[in-house]
Amino acid sequence: MTTTRLLTAALTAALALTTAPLASATTPSAAPKPPKQRHLRITNQDNRQSFTVHKGDEITVRLSGERTPGSTWAWSVPTAADGAVLRRGGAGTAPNGDTTAVFHAQADGTTTLDSQLRCVANEPGHACSQAVVPWQTTVRVRR
């Protein structure tokens, strides 16, 4: 019985020594993890909607135009009313009237993203409507 007790004590001690470094290695460090960047996609259907994002998030606005015989209903490149809150990183338009812009949330605040849809004649002699269709969303940035 004494041998069994000694063997059990030795095994317990060995097991405690081998697991102790593992336990301390899995302790979380004191340094905070940076917040995960999120990505928000906004489209035609989001007109007049409001969104809340966090500083560092990315927002992509993708608006679809329409090409018809003789004309194209084309979107202007989206802009932010307050570039200090949302900074535009890249933007472009396509021949079919589509537009895309990428914004980065820079600072706390609220701003709007704006674009306009207009008719552009593709053929000589084609008359376009002078109508302008506004598109806008509100974006709130917080920490």
Residue 34 confidence class, pLDDT cut points 50, 70, 90? low
- Confidence tier at 36 by pLDDT (50, 70, 90): confident
Average pLDDT over residues 53-68: 96
Q: Is 42 exposed, middle or buried (0-12, 13-18, 19+ CB in 10 A)?
A: buried
**Can you give the pLDDT at residue 54?**
97
Q: Is the pLDDT of residue 12 over 90?
A: no
C-beta atoms surrounding 63 within 10 Å: 23
The third-level CATH classification (topology) of the domain covering 39-142 is Immunoglobulin-like (2.60.40)
pLDDT of residue 125: 86
- Residue 6: is its pLDDT beyond 50? no
